[in-house]
Amino acid sequence: MKKITLFAALFIASITFAQTTQDSTKVTSEKQINTAQRMLANTSGSPLTIGGYGEITYNQPEGDNGELDVQRLVIMAGYKFNDEVQFITEIEFEHVKEVFVEQAFINYNVADNVSLRGGLMLVPMGIVNEYHEPTTFNGVERTSVDNKIVPTTWREIGVGVNGRIPNASLSYQAYIFNGFKSSEANGDEVNGLLKGSNGLRGGRQKGIQSTIDTPNFAAKLDYYGMPGLRLGLSGYFGKTQAEDGIDEIDGSSIGISMVGFDARYNFKRFTARGQFVYASLSDTEDYNNLTGKDLGSALMGYYVEGAYNLLPLTAKQKLFAFARYEAYDTHANTDGALIENDAYNRTDITAGLSYHIAPGVVVKGDYQIKDNNVDGGEVANQLNFGVGVWF
């Protein structure tokens, strides 16, 4: 409780006094954009735009061998057919050996501040799922909340609308997506893809021959009406998908209701951000009985972070010292005979430096103190270093 109080105080103090610019576009939080948004705003005069980002990391858990990894190398391309129609795609190479299409969508501007969009898109939940370029967040690794609760990078195929209401300082997104895949046939048995340790993460279909039974709805509102401040409210509602032949079996699918709140705020050399996500899952007792898994009926996670730029605002480079507290529980609740696993109730404290040596290039280092709710349980702390680029 003392840790939570300390970091809550840090976050509130940062909200009161904070500001810094963390992304390569040198804009404040309320105007922060990602690569796809930057390409959609193409004013270069050329219909073709190219961009990308990448991360190379070193992770050293206490007591184990370290790991060096080219975590991801991403190439993005955009093409502007005319003033109304654009295409954006993102190709990702992970760990040198895996290739994924992370985004591939058409954007059609039907009116001022209103666009229709269809294809493979990011689900608008939280901060990092949409803003995951390495220069836009502190820490070598993305937050655990945006891994175990929001299964970043979370993208699915869908269609929807997005835009702005300038007079109200609001931006909005609303989409219909295919959902998570919860189960598949394995001979005469049903194989479950969702489990207690990482919640919904194993069910991401990623646009790979995705099965769809029941469409899902996702939406987000962002408020940017105060200088330096951006507030987000997200929602995701629907059911998971199961393969033909087993989709009528009780327990092959579950219901999902997920809501999230996020905040970013900047003032001069200080910055703060925070996020809270809660997901209620229905029919998990039948799902676990059918598949033998241990999926919880509720997932919950939050974090608060404060940072300070140690260099003068007039300097071309930026050096952020930051600290973050996050708590996340993939067994926030369970149904039936399933007992909550305290090992899934976890906390991370991360502190370190982010050194932006040029716009679009960052060198990072941090140390993570990890814990869970098991009496006497030991979780290895971890030292991390990394370099990231965004262009």
Mean pLDDT across the chain, nearest whole number?
Answer: 92
List the chain domain ranges.
2-390
Query: What pLDDT is stored for residue 12 in this prediction?
Result: 39
Query: What pLDDT is stored for residue 27 in this prediction?
Result: 53
Amino acid at position 281, single letter: L
pTM above 0.75, yes or no: yes
pLDDT at 4 over 70: no
pLDDT at 17 over 50: no
Query: What pLDDT is stored for residue 344 in this prediction?
Result: 98
Query: What pLDDT is stored for residue 289 in this prediction?
Result: 97
**Per-residue pLDDT tens over the stretch 201-230:** 999 999 999 999 999 999 999 999 999 999
**Per-residue pLDDT tens over the stretch 312-340:** 999 999 999 999 999 999 999 999 999 99
Query: What pLDDT is stored for residue 30 in this prediction?
Result: 67
Q: How confident is the model at residue 10 (pLDDT cuts 50, 70, 90)?
A: very low
- Name the least confident of 34-48, 93-107, 151-165, 193-207: 34-48
Query: What pLDDT is stored for residue 370 in this prediction?
Result: 97
Rounded to an integer, the average pLDDT of 131-148 is 97
**Per-residue pLDDT tens over the stretch 332-381:** 999 999 999 999 999 999 999 999 999 999 999 999 999 999 988 889 99
Query: What pLDDT is stored for residue 28 in this prediction?
Result: 66
**Per-residue pLDDT tens over the stretch 75-86:** 999 999 999 999
Q: How confident is the model at residue 115 (pLDDT cuts 50, 70, 90)?
A: very high
**Per-residue pLDDT tens over the stretch 178-200:** 999 999 998 889 999 999 999 99
Beta bridge partners of 127: none
Q: 2-390, which class in CATH?
A: mainly beta
What is the Cα 150 distance to its own chain's centre? 6
Amino acid at position 36, single letter: A
Question: Is residue 333 within 8 Å of residue 359, measured between CB atoms?
Answer: no
Rounded to an integer, the average pLDDT of 155-170 is 97
Query: What pLDDT is stored for residue 188 in this prediction?
Result: 86
Query: What pLDDT is stored for residue 187 in this prediction?
Result: 87
